[in-house]
Amino acid sequence: MAVVKSDKLGLYISIPFCRSKCTYCNFASGVYPASEHARYVERLLEDLKHAGKWAAEMGVELPRIVDTVYLGGGTPSLLAPQLIAQLFAAIRAGFNVESTAEITVECAPGQVDDETIDALASAGVNRVSLGVQSFVDREAQVSGRLHDRPMVLGDLRRLRAAGITNLNIDLIAGLAGQTFASWDESLAVLLDTGVPHASVYMLEVDEDSRLGRELLGNGKRYHAELVPIDDAIARMYETAIDKLEKAGLRQYEISNFAQSGFQSQHNLRYWERRPYLGLGLDASSALRAKDATSKPARKSELRYILRSKTTEDLSEYLSGPQAAEIAWLSPERQQEEAWFLGLRLNRGVQIAALKREFGGDGILRALEVVERLVESCLAVSDGKTVRLTARGRMVSNDVFQEFLFAADHPTALEEMAAN
């Protein structure tokens, strides 16, 4: 997918507050005093006010027209209604938010009261994502969730009554204690709700979550011994693809499924490499340089993308503006992203578009990777489009490593062949 010069922007705003920290969570979020909420929003308002100045100092384009807004976290719905109103007023004061913009807020089931729903609707929120993870109460509780099934169903009714009908439900395959039968139960309840979008994730094991650390260390406090084996998790994921597809929720990205017309426009922005500005704790941005020939080294490289990431330390963020982590992506780095982000989408990447962006000779090495992936049945190509197969999506992290050309270790394909 080639970068298209765009006069529109996506806004991502991180709200890191939670009532409890889920065992599997590896995000920069946590349980903080409610007294921090107002201070945090005040800092966000300051960042919104000075976003244009920051962009000018960085030498990047900051489109003023916004067509997607996404509040993630954390649990953005924990903000008091007046803080929600202040935040959206500042967004609209600083940017031209289109009347048709997709405006999404993540909510924790059982933690969104009527006043908050009214505040969201009044602010123009038209899409809500509920982090359900499991409709089986014992699985949700073991994972640190505070809801039960009736709470979720009640939230859906109240959101729809408020006019917010573009709804997403997240599920995780591989939670502690999950079985094939309980997974089927969660999928059945999800489909019965009639939501037009679902996200299905396979449990990730890494040291950035409590459950991940316990799995790596063979502990038992968070029930790591009850986590299904990898093969079982993969089968659960495959079952979800099949059942959602039959119910009209078609997979359009590795973890995302939607009825026609209900794909997440904000998340598509990431995979299509369109510009977005991230504000708040541990938020990332991707913006195009105004005058790429002056950034930052070889003038023969005419296209640069600025990626920035804010601090993940709440105290540091609240203390005032901080220097973000900055990386200028050269065309080589951009091409790597073009492949592994574009291949997340079921529709794949268009070879002609990448040739226009990076040059025919510039993508030759990547096309050699494509040939190997096709031979390994991890991808298919008709000479115009490259797409991952179902097996390729299952091992997508290994596939994407093939396009990191600077790596000096054996490729994932070579390692797979050796095993």
Give 148-202 pLDDT, tens digit per residue.
Answer: 899 999 999 999 999 999 999 999 999 988 999 999 999 999 999 999 999 999 9
Provide mean pLDDT across the span 289-293: 67
Exposure b/e, 265-293, CB count within 10 A at least 16 = b: bbbbbbbbbbbbbbbbbbbbbbbbbeebe
Question: Which of helix, strand or coil describes residue 216?
Answer: helix
Task: Considering the chain, tell me which residue range(s) the CATH 1.10.10 domain(s) occupy.
Answer: 348-419
Considering the entire predicted model, what is its pTM?
0.87
Are 33 and 66 a contacting pair, CB within 8 Å? no
- Domain 8-268 in CATH: superfamily? Aldolase class I (3.20.20.70)
**348-419 to CATH, choices 1.10.10, 1.10.405, 3.40.50, 1.25.40:** 1.10.10
Q: Of 137-141, 182-186, 405-409, which has the strongest mean pLDDT?
A: 182-186
Tens-digit pLDDT profile for residues 197-231: 999 999 876 655 555 555 555 665 655 556 678 89
pLDDT of residue 417: 39
User: Which contiguous run of DSSP H or E holds residue 392?
Assistant: helix 390-394
Strands (DSSP E) contained in 25-84 are 65-73
CA pair distance 55, 213, nearest whole angstrom:
38
Question: Which value, in Å, is the radius of gyration of the alpha carbons in the chain?
Answer: 22
Does 373 have pLDDT greater than 70? yes
Average pLDDT, the chain: 86
Task: Considering the chain, tell me which residue range(s) the CATH 3.20.20.70 domain(s) occupy.
Answer: 8-268
Q: How confident is the model at residue 370 (pLDDT cuts 50, 70, 90)?
A: very high
